[in-house]
Amino acid sequence: MASVSILKCGSYEEREVVQIMNKLLDSVGLDKIKGKKILLKPNILYAAQPEKAVTTHPSVFKAIIRYLQKNGNTIFAGDSPAFQNQEAAAGKAGLKQVADECGVPWQDFTQTAVIPSPEGKLVKSFQLASILNDVDIVISLPKMKTHSLMYYTGAIKNLFGLVPGLSKSALHLRFPDRDNFAQMIVDLNLAVKPDYAIMDAIVGMEGPGPGSGKPRQVGLLLASDNVLALDMTAARIMGYRPEGLPILSQALACGFWLQAGEEINYPLEKAEDLLFKDYRLIHHLHDASMFRDYMPDWVFRLIKNLTVKRPVFNPKICRLCRECARICPAKALFIEENRVKVNYQKCIRCYCCHEICSHHAITLKKKVF
């Protein structure tokens, strides 16, 4: 039976995090991992200070590194934000400093290799960070967050960062449909087969995540050797029905991590005692993709255009940094008369622009309904 360890942790004070993390990682059997090469993949969406709750917190990152190093493991770490200088983004998040202090080489994911995904449904191979071929163990270190496109982001979605830089945009363009995008993420996880996930949920993000939401005190750390079990648990604690979330439902359907109806064991804190009733979630009532099979393409596109949230730009907040235009996979954004303009006919509603705008100048709004 899959198992997820959960412990309460009230703050990022280093001594408290270390004490709780040691107990948590013992519980998932990481104390038996010795002399291995391990890749840690924290969540760095863009350059943001730890208190913004966009990135995995440096105290959590450091406690995990120190724990694994005690057993003679060699640690590597890295992430690949879509367009920013990787090391600068990791520096602002406080993660690069921790890596340097602990002697962990920060990985530049620009070196890539073909990683096969024979069990993948839509994608049979990925161009991913080549370090994956050099390590024995991969650990996903997600932050608990809402996500405007996928509703929830955790351990499985976090591994999308193994796709180098702007190549992520090409995958958004190739899989503009939410369900297909979710299946692609599942296929990527079937290629990587992450060994463990450790989630920073001391402070999570609620509202319009993963970049523009608000920090939310949750007070938890979670760990598991089953990425789907961890994500199902975290999503449930936030207040989601996990089986209804695109990535989690497709990961469940593939049967690799969990069987339908399989129970999850909680050896420490019980998930059912920790459920939030007022976490600000992303709701998905008017998702046009559910009509796709029942109508011609042009009608579907029209309905999608009217009912699915679209990015709206606030020129009073926008700094004209152009980062949204650079990341837009559909090339739907352009600058005219000192404003960002959108070609909504081209826009595929991937929300990469919203995700990446660190100035929070973009909101997602429906045209009607």
* Chain positions contacting ligand SF4, by CB under 6 A: 311, 313, 318-324, 328-330, 332-333, 340, 342, 347-353, 357, 359, 361-362
Q: Closest separation between CB of residue 177 and ligand SF4, Å?
A: 13
Q: Give, rounded to a whole angstrom, the gap between the first and last alpha carbons of the chain.
A: 43
H/E stretch holding 290 reads none
SS3 content of the chain, % helix, strand, coil (to 5): 35, 20, 40
Which is closer to ligand SF4, CB of 57 or CB of 349? 349
Q: Which residues contact 195 (CB under 8 A, 6 or more apart)?
A: 137, 138, 139, 225
Which is closer to ligand SF4, CB of 166 or CB of 253? 166
Q: Closest separation between CB of residue 129 and ligand SF4, Å?
A: 23
Which is closer to ligand SF4, CB of 273 or CB of 297? 297
Which is closer to ligand SF4, CB of 102 or CB of 325? 325
Helix, coil or strand: residue 143:
strand
- Identify the DSSP state of 354: H
Q: Closest separation between CB of residue 176 and ligand SF4, Å?
A: 8
Which is closer to ligand SF4, CB of 66 or CB of 359? 359
Q: Closest separation between CB of residue 339 and ligand SF4, Å?
A: 9
Phi-psi region of 56 (alpha: psi -120 to 50; beta: other; left: phi over 0): beta
Q: Which two tokens stand for residue 351?
A: 């929300």
Q: Closest separation between CB of residue 289 and ligand SF4, Å?
A: 15
Rounded to 5°, the CA angle 115-199-127 comes to: 15
How is 201-217 classified by DSSP, letter by letter? Answer: EEEEEESSTTTSSEEEE
Q: Closest separation between CB of residue 211 and ligand SF4, Å?
A: 10
Which is closer to ligand SF4, CB of 8 or CB of 322? 322
